Structure 1
Amino acid sequence: MVFVGLSLPDDLVEQARAADLDMSRLAQDAIRRALDAHAVNEWLDDLASLESIDVDYDLVKQAVTAAKDEFGL
């Protein structure tokens, strides 16, 4: 594991220590959430750039109904 120094306001560190919080774990969790959000945003950007196509509504409805039936939903 790599050691990375973070700059945090003094009062925030004092409060976190007083609350006996694991700042390393919290930082890891926050970074993971930020990376997940970034990945979702990239996926949405990619999705928005796709060319739209005409889709028959009834065929989509049938496919969704079949999938729901298959998974018992």
Structure 2
Amino acid sequence: MARLNVYVPDELAQRARARGLNISALTQAAISAELENSATDVWLAGLEARNTGARHDDVLAAIDAARDELGA
């Protein structure tokens, strides 16, 4: 496993130590979350917008009808 140096303000480090937080686990979780979010953003940006011809109001009406039918 790679070893990294992470710099945080002194006060933040003191508060984290006082609470007994696992800085390594928090850092790993934050990096993983950021990578997942950016991967989703890249995927969404690559999607091609398609015009279905459906009007927004018609789509909302269909969703409402489905909710009524399914009791949601």
Q: Common fold, TM-score beyond 0.5? A: yes
Helix, strand or coil at the partner of 1:41: helix
CA 1:51–1:22: 2 relative to 1, 3 Å: closer
Helix, strand or coil at the partner of 1:8: coil
RMSD (Å), alpha carbons? 1.7
Q: Which runs of 4+ in 1 moved over 2 A?
A: 51-56
> What TM-score do you get using the length of structure 1 for normalisation?
0.66
Tell me how far apart the structure 2 counterparts of residues 33 and 52 of structure 1 sit (CA, whole Å).
29
TM-superposition CA deviations, 1:33-72 (whole Å, max 9, x none): 000000110011001xx2526579xxxxxxxxxxxxxxxx
Unpaired stretches in structure 2, ≥5 consecutive residues: 55-72
Helix, strand or coil at the partner of 1:11: helix
Unpaired stretches in structure 1, ≥5 consecutive residues: 57-73
**Count of residues in Structure 1 that have an aligned counterpart in Structure 2:** 54
Query: 1:23 maps to which residue?
Result: 23
